[in-house]
Amino acid sequence: MPAVPSLLHSLADGLGSNKLEHTFLQHIELSGAIATSDTFRLARETFGPLKLSVHYGMTESGPVVAWPCEQVPDNFEAGKVTSGFPVAGCIVRVCAPHSRTPLPRGELGEIHQNSSQLVTGYIGIARDDAFYKDESGVWYVTGDQGIMHPSGEVEVCGRYKDIIIRGGENISPAQIEAVLNRDNGLEACVVGASDDILGEVPVAVVSGGDRLQDSGQSLPSLVVQHLGPSFALDQVVPLSDLGLVEFPRTTLGKIRKQELALALDKYRKASKPRPIGDGAGLARADSFDIADPLEKVLTDVWSRILGVPECTLGPETKINDLADSLTMMQFRRLLRKDHALELSLSEMIKNPTIAEQAILLGKTEKGKPKAKVGAPGREGPPGPFDVVEAYGDRERLKSIQQLVTPLLGLYGLGWAQDVEDIIPMNDVLANMVTARRRLRSSLRRDAFYCPNTTVESLYTALQGALSAHPLLRSMWVPTSASSVSHVIVRPAQRCWKLFLDYAGHSVDSSEDLANVWNGDNKLDTCGGQRGPGPLFRAVVFSVKCDPASAGVVYWTNHSAFDATSLSFFHETLNDLLCGKAITPRTSYKLWADSLHIGRHSPYAQAGARYFGEKLRGFAGYQASMVPQQRAPGFLEGNDEGWVGPGGTPGKADLRIPLDGQSGRHAANKGLRHVFKCSDLTRLHGEHSIAAHTVFKAALAVVNTDWTNTNTAFFRSLESGRQWPFLDSALASHLPSAADIDGPTLQASFNVINFDQEAEVTIDLLKRLRDDQELATRYQCTPLSLALAQLSEADRTALLDRGLSQLFNWVPNRSHLELSKLHQVQDEMNADTGLHWDFTSRGLGEVEAFVRWDCCQLGQGDVKQMLEDLEKVVNWLSDPLHWHAPTDERPKESKYRVWRPAVDELQLAAMSLMMSGV
């Protein structure tokens, strides 16, 4: 019997507790909507034992995937309901959205199908991206979300056009519906609703009126329990509240989601949403009145930042148990933006509960945000008291002018009319532009599609965004034999000509933005990559298949941004495209000048001694290096134009990808993995051990297991978002360093030894936590000052092997709404061998994003390291192991066998070959 799932629900409701007596019904084939294992259970309760399967097909071609009757499984594994295998004459592939390249089996993607009965297009539409041709014939992009399992079975998971994008994360309504329709006696349909902060939020519309009062209280919690906080419902709405008696359906029984979404939108605009029970979890910011209690305001903002329902947060909830410092920084920004209230990071740490924070905000002027401090406006070029490097010294300023002016002339600029400021680069930033290990060292490329945006309005918005963010309209220039500076160009027509390209460029579709000029050494870059010059370049494109929209690709060197300041730029650009007021930021020049002034202060000297002691003996750690070096250089991303020691040109045959040429793309695309470990929250609550400390310890353990040594070392990037070399009492009177508009990042080095006998897990974690506190205290120490503490051998080894691995903890920005900026590409070319970016997602979830040098590691190596890392994280955070010696951990990863490494003699031979000897 063919049927849609809703027909089974209707039959079950009509029969009540009675089973349908039948003799001949042996097989029910479902189609037309997603069917879950609970739909199967309901069918068997109603009809008794029989075969059940799901047929997948469509009007454009007829049947696509089905189970032969004799092969239908009696039960599906782990609640996964597949539709079987492609029918005769039909080919199925699963690709990433907006791609035509098949994904590996087991990965979620978009279903494409080819068959002998497939139509070749739609009547009246000359060009349609849903159809394309290759050597196999005509393919149809179905828009359906699915997985092809290793066995070849196809599972349909939902519709991509139904996907809800909540704060940048994709949420499948079908997954939520499967949970809600389970054992509740209800029928729920989940649709996306607009939200001022998150862009879209999931809302459940539920039928089953008389049962909703009993079930509604637990539905949102049920979703969080099964799927996690990112799937949390914003609201549960009875169908009757929308003025509907039953769900609007097609003739095939499918719910008309678009019609339902329109009714929901009208309902939400007509009145303030009043979610049922813990469905109030993610209330909108515009539902607050001025007179609302501060606790209510704080609970709302924290719930959105943490991605948890409000009901899980009470006045005595300790936020320190749920959020790390980076998450707190995001909270500060949202609190200020939505409610014009201010809490500093230190205030949140000292007042960890929501009740304490509300009391603090309620005191006099405490909650009012401090005014932003910008660089004072000035007519004409900077004078001797405006350039910290030449403070009060007119001759020194004249010398700087003489060095800068010729470079300005190359770009049609002049000192008097075009130079706004001179800002000194610290050691880390200077290294990014002067240590040119290849053409694309430290270069980032981003591409954005801007829907419903004209090319002209995008160009104008870019001008406004660059005006608000000076570092992105800067050039790097040597200002002495030992110093490098940012030269800020005044925002005027000559500036736009240098940094923006608005010359009638176009692409066929938005996805082509990711490929335009890829690998072109003249166009796929910005001027400052070749030598002193501009550190940013943006090109505006029209999109042929969507004339009402535009796109932008930009290139920028890391010396002009960090993750936080770049997000400021994205927010500003998005706000300008939306016609909103932009948020002012704190001047980067004030921070950079302070760092320069204090670089030889007692604070800096103390930091140098700390790092000198920590890194002493580094030359002896070669065997502990991960990855072991197989080819010259550590170059994540495109290594074209790489150079060897002394700047000698590198030879292509010395850097061969371990996985072949496809390995280059895979390494730059990277791997993502989500770690789920509920014990991280308990560890933080009971011992003040943050998640980043656990992951740092776990990475160190995996490193030592892979190298069979007792030492692990890797670089870290510290945020540097503190006022440098200032006492905390003085710094508290300044604007928050979290709002500084520029690259405050600093380099730090971790050397972790495991030679302490019988050290238990909790002691290891506390040791690393305490060391991190010192590293944070001394993070603004100039790198050159720290290196001066080391022997020549240690210094050389650090500058060489210190690039091998990078551990980075980055802020979670999923709550940001960028409705006008849809990211198509994010490419970074870091000079490192193995690059780890970790992001806390709240409630024991951490996402890892890892990229690597394809000539040092293969994808299989990295996947194995991720697997080992997950095992160690779970072992370290398990309360049963807190007081167990770390040496008792599982040893299955002990001394992984590296592919043949390049030894010192081979490296020396490579250097000779590159120099022509």
Nearest to 144 by CA among 93, 97, 110: 110
In the chain, what are the helix, strand and coil shares in percent, each to the nearest 5? 40, 20, 40
Mean pLDDT score, 711-719: 92
Higher pLDDT, 278 or 206: 206
Question: What local confidence, expressed as pLDDT, does residue 302 receive?
Answer: 85
pLDDT score of 914 more than 80: no
The DSSP bridge pattern shows strands 137-148 and 154-159 to be antiparallel
Question: What local confidence, expressed as pLDDT, does residue 667 receive?
Answer: 92
> Which tokens go with 382?
């900077």
- The per-residue pLDDT for range 125-171, each reduced to its tens digit, is 666 678 889 888 999 998 888 899 988 999 888 777 677 866 556 67
Q: H or E stretch including 538?
A: strand 536-543
**Ramachandran class of 23: left when φ > 0, alpha when ψ lies in -120 to 50, beta otherwise:** alpha
Question: What local confidence, expressed as pLDDT, does residue 167 receive?
Answer: 54
Calculate the alpha carbon distances from 889 to 689, 867, 875 in Å: 19, 15, 7
Question: What local confidence, expressed as pLDDT, does residue 272 receive?
Answer: 46
Residue 737 in contact with residue 564, Cβ under 8 Å?
A: no
pLDDT band per the 50, 70, 90 thresholds, residue 287: very low
Question: What local confidence, expressed as pLDDT, does residue 61 receive?
Answer: 87
User: Which DSSP string do the residues of 365-410 spell out, in sequence order?
Assistant: TTTSPPPP--PPP-SSS--TTT-GGGTT-HHHHHHHHHHHHHHHHH
Higher pLDDT, 430 or 364: 430
pLDDT score of 687 more than 70: yes
Residue 422 in contact with residue 479, Cβ under 8 Å?
A: yes
CA dist., res. 484 & res. 430, Å (int):
6
pLDDT band per the 50, 70, 90 thresholds, residue 778: very high
Q: What are phi and psi of 795, to 5 degrees?
A: -65, -45
Residue 256 in contact with residue 33, Cβ under 8 Å?
A: no
Is residue 879 classed as helix, strand or coil in its secondary structure? helix
**Ramachandran class of 153: left when φ > 0, alpha when ψ lies in -120 to 50, beta otherwise:** beta
**Residues in a beta bridge with 751:** 713
Question: What local confidence, expressed as pLDDT, does residue 742 receive?
Answer: 96
CA dist., res. 591 & res. 273, Å (int):
44
Is 851 buried (19+), middle (13-18) or exposed (0-12) by CB count in 10 A?
buried
Nearest to 685 by CA among 319, 175, 216, 158: 319
Question: What local confidence, expressed as pLDDT, does residue 814 receive?
Answer: 61
Mean pLDDT score, 190-207: 76
The DSSP bridge pattern shows strands 235-238 and 199-207 to be parallel
CA dist., res. 349 & res. 74, Å (int):
55
CATH numbers and ranges of domains, the chain: 2-158 (3.40.50.12780), 164-362 (3.30.300.30), 388-595 (3.30.559.10), 602-617+661-731+744-811+832-889 (3.30.559.30)
∠ CA 670-673-678, nearest 5°, is 155
CA dist., res. 706 & res. 804, Å (int):
14
User: In which residue are the tokens 């990559």 written?
Assistant: 529
- The per-residue pLDDT for range 349-406, each reduced to its tens digit, is 888 899 999 888 887 444 444 445 455 567 889 999 999 999 999 999 999 999 999 9
pLDDT band per the 50, 70, 90 thresholds, residue 289: very low
Please report the beta strands in 666-736, taking only residues with DSSP state E, as ranges in sequence order.
671-676, 711-718
pLDDT score of 277 more than 90: no
CA dist., res. 495 & res. 864, Å (int):
48
b/e sequence 896-914, b meaning 16+ C-beta within 10 Å:
beeeeebeeebbeebeebb
**Percent share of the chain, pLDDT over 70:** 84
pLDDT score of 899 more than 60: no
Q: Within its chain, how far is the Cα of 764 from the centroid? A: 29
Q: Within its chain, how far is the Cα of 498 from the centroid? A: 30
pLDDT score of 4 more than 70: yes
CA dist., res. 556 & res. 443, Å (int):
6
pLDDT band per the 50, 70, 90 thresholds, residue 808: very high
Question: What local confidence, expressed as pLDDT, does residue 762 receive?
Answer: 94
**Ramachandran class of 851: left when φ > 0, alpha when ψ lies in -120 to 50, beta otherwise:** beta
Mean pLDDT score, 344-352: 83
> Which tokens go with 733?
């009177």
- The per-residue pLDDT for range 831-889, each reduced to its tens digit, is 999 999 999 876 678 999 999 999 999 999 999 999 999 999 999 999 999 999 888 87
> Which tokens go with 729?
């009492």
User: In which residue are the tokens 């809490």 written?
Assistant: 343
CA dist., res. 892 & res. 887, Å (int):
13
pLDDT band per the 50, 70, 90 thresholds, residue 185: low
pLDDT band per the 50, 70, 90 thresholds, residue 29: confident
Nearest to 443 by CA among 668, 283, 726: 668
Question: What local confidence, expressed as pLDDT, does residue 325 receive?
Answer: 65
Calculate the alpha carbon distances from 83 to 67, 110, 380, 551, 628 in Å: 6, 15, 71, 39, 46
Q: Within its chain, how far is the Cα of 109 from the centroid? A: 19
b/e sequence 85-103, b meaning 16+ C-beta within 10 Å:
bbbeebebbbbeebeeeeb
Nearest to 555 by CA among 448, 670, 685: 448
- The per-residue pLDDT for range 663-686, each reduced to its tens digit, is 988 998 899 999 998 888 888 888
Q: Within its chain, how far is the Cα of 374 from the centroid? A: 29
Question: What local confidence, expressed as pLDDT, does residue 169 receive?
Answer: 64
Question: What local confidence, expressed as pLDDT, does residue 447 receive?
Answer: 97
pLDDT band per the 50, 70, 90 thresholds, residue 597: very high
Calculate the alpha carbon distances from 144 to 87, 141, 154, 318 in Å: 17, 8, 12, 42
CA dist., res. 444 & res. 387, Å (int):
29
Please name the residue ranges forming H helices in 469-529: 493-499
pLDDT band per the 50, 70, 90 thresholds, residue 632: very high
∠ CA 377-379-383, nearest 5°, is 90
pLDDT score of 90 more than 80: yes
Mean pLDDT score, 630-649: 87
pLDDT band per the 50, 70, 90 thresholds, residue 895: very low
N-term to C-term CA, the chain = 80
pLDDT score of 571 more than 70: yes
CA dist., res. 56 & res. 34, Å (int):
10
Nearest to 231 by CA among 171, 187, 178, 158: 171
pLDDT score of 718 more than 60: yes
- The per-residue pLDDT for range 95-121, each reduced to its tens digit, is 987 788 899 998 888 999 999 889 988
CA dist., res. 165 & res. 157, Å (int):
16
Average pLDDT, the chain: 84
Question: What local confidence, expressed as pLDDT, does residue 23 receive?
Answer: 63
**Beta-carbon count within 10 A of 149 CB:** 14
C-alpha radius of gyration, the chain, whole number:
30
Question: What local confidence, expressed as pLDDT, does residue 892 receive?
Answer: 55
Question: What local confidence, expressed as pLDDT, does residue 278 receive?
Answer: 33
CA dist., res. 555 & res. 440, Å (int):
10
